[in-house]
Amino acid sequence: MPSRSFLLKMLSLAIVFGAWEIAGRVPVSYAFPTFLESMRALALLAIDGTLFTAYAETLRPLALGVLISAILGIALGLWIGLSARFDWLFSPIFVVMQSAPLAALIPLLVMAYGIGLTSKVFVVCIMAMPVIVLNTASAVRNTPSSLTEMARSFLGSRLDVILKVIIPAASPVIFSGLRLGISAGFIGAILSELKITPTGVGDIITYSRSIADYASMYAAIFSIILLAVLFLNLLEKLELHLFRGNNRGYVTD
Amino acid sequence: MSQTRAAPRSTVPLAADIAVRTRDVSKHYGTVEALRNLSLDFPRGQLTSLLGPSGCGKTTLLKIIAGLIPATSGQIEVSGKTVTGPGPDRAFVFQDFALLPWASVLRNVAFGLELRGVARSEREAIAEKYIRDVGLAGFETSYPHQLSGGMRQRVGLARALSVNAEVLLMDEPFSAVDEQTRRKFQEDLLALVANENKTFIFVTHSIEEAVYVSDQIAILLPRPSRVSEVIRPTGIRDKGADNIRRDPEYLDIVDRIWASLRSYVE
């Protein structure tokens, strides 16, 4: 029997898609297709294989960028959170990165790294990394001091304290940073394909718009959102698998 | 656990029976002087309370003895060995319990042994014994947020007992639990001191609690902290847990301590 929360999720989807369908039928704008038209276009893109070749292209900078951002971001965040000196050294960089208008910086990246994969990976990283780094650092800094004192008083080494207390204690906030960072990475991947060179899903969007095939354009946008949501759900499963206590509340509550 | 005490303990400890000794311990935080030349002996097998108004440095002293924070000057000895950091001879019970919220009761109790590198099956067997001893049998797989405050502190106590340290350092362990639970804890603590051959150092801000549980009470006064008086409520120690609070000596000592602390409380 489906759970209540599952039913509510389905209801929420039905409301959004229903509103989309109605807005398309009114129509709000002739450039705004209905939900069903967009889904038909999505099916066509999937059947003739365009969608899959596009994703093979888009997923490369996306996966690389997200992977680099996650690993490097968490490592740097831990380092910044554990050491006041590295906080002073690195935090400003990420605060600037987070607030920089990325679209304006893309021409600079293209001049430096060309129009290939490197620039696109950079865009994904610039979008994804700051929030991962800053969340990780603040989570580490906010580890309850009584927990680290406890581990030290029971003879935990520095490494024990980091691995068995600080990282598990910080994991909920690290994971929320990862979720935000990865969704930003998806935005970055599409942005780079729209602003640097139209490849992959960005190409479908640009091309369909230029020939006024708005259903396909929205189908492509819908597919990337769907992928992001699926990926974020997967990440949540991973979190609950790695840190089983995370959905069990906190002592201080 | 029996709640009456075994044989009354000797009133004047021999020099060799000092488990923990602090010598001229001072602690400065920048320009703030938290402790000045504090010297105090803690007799083996007995419970010594550090009692004083808030801000008098009693928790600071306890953490210096634990090796968690370094003293600015002076020396701490535990069984004749100078303290340079946390050691296997001391275990700490925290005011806010300091339990890992993501770990079960079993893992929390075994965590001290886990950090010492004791193999899993062995440490879990030891932890299960102490979980039973503190009256939490059946809660091994529960998580801290599923327990009441009193039960959480029992987990903290079981964790400290399971590493089998000579000295138990307790930082206001009962201040975060309700009044009735606290009374039960105090009675259990008397039994624990009688049955376990351990030295207890107990920080509290409750005068009644200190007089009820202590073999020796060190009154600390603030700014800068120093030991103003050491009181040994010897007459009431062998009266039995149920009679202590009715004893005239108990009431006299409580009054005397309040008279000397009164002027320091804002």
Taking the C-alpha atoms of residue B233 and residue B190, their distance in angstroms, rounded to an integer, is 14
Give kind and range of the element (H or E) at residue B259.
helix B248-261
Nearest to B208 by CA among B229, B179, B177, B188: B179
Q: Do B91 and A154 touch (CB under 8 A)?
A: yes
Cβ contacts of A171 within 8 Å, gap of 6 or more: A139, A239, A242, A243, A246
Instruction: Determine which of A18-22, A56-60, B12-16 has the lowest per-residue pLDDT on average.
Output: B12-16
Sign of CA dihedral B190, B192, B193, B194: positive
pLDDT, one tens digit per residue, over A107-158 is 888 888 888 899 999 999 999 999 999 999 999 999 999 999 999 999 999 9
Taking the C-alpha atoms of residue B143 and residue B152, their distance in angstroms, rounded to an integer, is 10
Bridge-based pairing state of the strands B18-29 and B73-78: antiparallel
CATH 1.10.3720.10 is held by the domain A51-243: yes
- Residue B152 with chain A: CB contacts under 8 Å: 251
Q: Three-state SS for B122?
A: helix
Query: What phi and psi values does residue B165 have, to the nearest 5 degrees?
Result: -85, 155
pLDDT, one tens digit per residue, over A189-221 is 999 998 888 888 999 999 999 998 999 999 999
- Residue B159 with chain A: CB contacts under 8 Å: 154
Do B60 and B54 contact (CB within 8 A), yes or no?
Answer: no
Taking the C-alpha atoms of residue B167 and residue B222, their distance in angstroms, rounded to an integer, is 25
- Residue B172 with chain A: CB contacts under 8 Å: none
Nearest-CA distance A169 → chain B (Å): 8
Nearest-CA distance A234 → chain B (Å): 21
Which residues 117-176 in chain B show a CB within 8 A of chain A? Answer: 143-145, 152, 159, 163
The per-residue pLDDT for A1 is: 57
Q: Cβ of A166 under 8 Å from any chain B Cβ?
A: no
- Residue B114 with chain A: CB contacts under 8 Å: 164
Give kind and range of the element (H or E) at residue B43.
strand B32-43
Q: Cβ of A250 under 8 Å from any chain B Cβ?
A: yes
The per-residue pLDDT for B129 is: 94
Do B207 and B214 contact (CB within 8 A), yes or no?
Answer: no
Please, what are the averages of pLDDT over each run of 10 residues along chain B (266 residues)? 45 67 89 86 92 85 93 91 91 93 93 94 94 92 90 94 93 88 90 90 92 91 81 81 84 90 80
Distances (CA, A) of A21 to A229, B8, B165: 21, 85, 70
Q: What number is the ipTM of this complex?
A: 0.86
Taking the C-alpha atoms of residue A154 and residue A143, their distance in angstroms, rounded to an integer, is 17
Task: With 0.90 as the threshold, say if the pTM is over it.
Answer: no
Sign of CA dihedral A51, A66, A132, A92: negative
The per-residue pLDDT for A246 is: 58
Give residue B205's Cα distance to chain centre.
12
Taking the C-alpha atoms of residue B260 and residue B218, their distance in angstroms, rounded to an integer, is 12
Q: Do B98 and A245 touch (CB under 8 A)?
A: no
B91, B115, B145 member nearest A251 (Cβ): B145
